[in-house]
Amino acid sequence: MANITENTGHETTTGLDHRKLLIWAFLGSECMFFGSLIATYLVYYGQGTPGTPTPLQVLDIPTTSTSTFVLLMSSFMMVMSYNAISKGNVKNFRIWIMCTAILGATFLGFQFYEFREFAVHYGLTPRTNLFGTTFFTTTGFHGAHVTVGVIWLVSLFLYSYRGDLTKDHGLMVDIAALYWHFVDVVWIVIFTLVYLIPVGVSGGT
């Protein structure tokens, strides 16, 4: 069976497509980017100015668990769309990738609701205290990544209607998929370190 990574028309010294190497190098650097954001959140945890909203008052675990579930399932849809295109099934590819984008947009909807709730209901903004600053920066940058991902997925969906997205172009989908899964695993870490552990340790349920 043809190997999609190497069926792209140019030879490289490693035998690996440079675009795929590039996305992995990029994702490696993204790990450090999010690592420092999460570390900052943890370092300043519990250092809010007295009298301002605390994580335990505002974090809503049931809602965030639901949005986490949505994002995890979007990863499944993504891998299914990759599976479809690598078998040359463009019709199924379109269905799955549209589902992925819709779930991604749903996740963003949850985040919009959460941010709005924090700002309007609790008066917590990035300027309120260290918790607000670090929370909105960390989850906001993740949300920005999801937004880029949704645009990327919809673009691929539209691109497929030009008729030249065949199984030979699986790499295009592969790279978008890697980015999308990465955004998913980052959320797995954020959900645990930003939401679950602080709330769990403090008995905030």
Partner 1 sequence: MASSHEESTHPTPAVYAKIAVTLALITAAEVAILYIDSLRGLIIPIFVVMSTIKFAMVAMFYMHLKFDNKLFTLFFVSGLALATGVIFALLILFGALGEGRYGSPEVVSAEIGHGSDTHSTDHGHKETSKNGETSADHATGAKSDHADTKADIASKDSSTTSTTTIEIGTKGDQLFFDQEKMSGKAGDHITVKLVNSAGAQQHNWVLVPAGPARLEIATAGMTAATTGWVPNDDRIVAHTELINPGESGGVTFQVPSEGAYEFVCTFPGHSFTMFGAFEITQ
CB of 42 or CB of 119, closer to partner 1: 42
Look up residue 11 and give its DSSP letter: -
Cβ atoms 108, 143 nearer than 8 A: yes
Query: Residue 89 phi/psi, 5° resolution?
Result: -90, 90
CB of 47 or CB of 161, closer to partner 1: 47
- Shortest Å, Cβ 104 to partner 1: 15
- Shortest Å, Cβ 12 to partner 1: 9
Dist CA 67 CA 16 (whole Å) = 36
Site residues for partner 1, window 154-193 (CB under 8 A)?
Answer: 177-178, 181-182, 184-185, 188-189, 191-192
Token representation of residue 92: 């199924």
> Considering the rule CB under 8 A, would residue 130 count as an interface residue with partner 1?
yes
> Considering the rule CB under 8 A, would residue 40 count as an interface residue with partner 1?
yes
Select from 31-39, 108-116, 141-149, 154-162 the region that touches partner 1 (CB under 8 A): 31-39
Task: Give the interface size with partner 1 as a residue count (CB under 8 A).
Answer: 67
Dist CA 187 CA 133 (whole Å) = 18
CB of 33 or CB of 161, closer to partner 1: 33
Instruction: Give the 3-state secondary structure of residue 46.
Output: coil
Dist CA 175 CA 58 (whole Å) = 36
> Considering the rule CB under 8 A, would residue 201 count as an interface residue with partner 1?
yes
> Considering the rule CB under 8 A, would residue 199 count as an interface residue with partner 1?
yes
Cβ atoms 179, 19 nearer than 8 A: no
Dist CA 115 CA 121 (whole Å) = 10
Cβ atoms 82, 177 nearer than 8 A: yes
Select from 65-73, 98-106, 139-147, 150-158 the region that touches partner 1 (CB under 8 A): 65-73
Q: What distances in angstroms separate CA 51 from CA 38, 88, 128, 177, 202, one per listed residue? A: 24, 59, 10, 44, 18
- Shortest Å, Cβ 15 to partner 1: 5
Note the residues at the interface with partner 1 (CB under 8 A): 1-6, 11, 14-16, 20-21, 24-25, 27-32, 34-36, 38-40, 42-47, 50, 61-62, 65, 68-69, 72-73, 75-76, 78-80, 83, 86, 130, 177-178, 181-182, 184-185, 188-189, 191-192, 196-203, 205
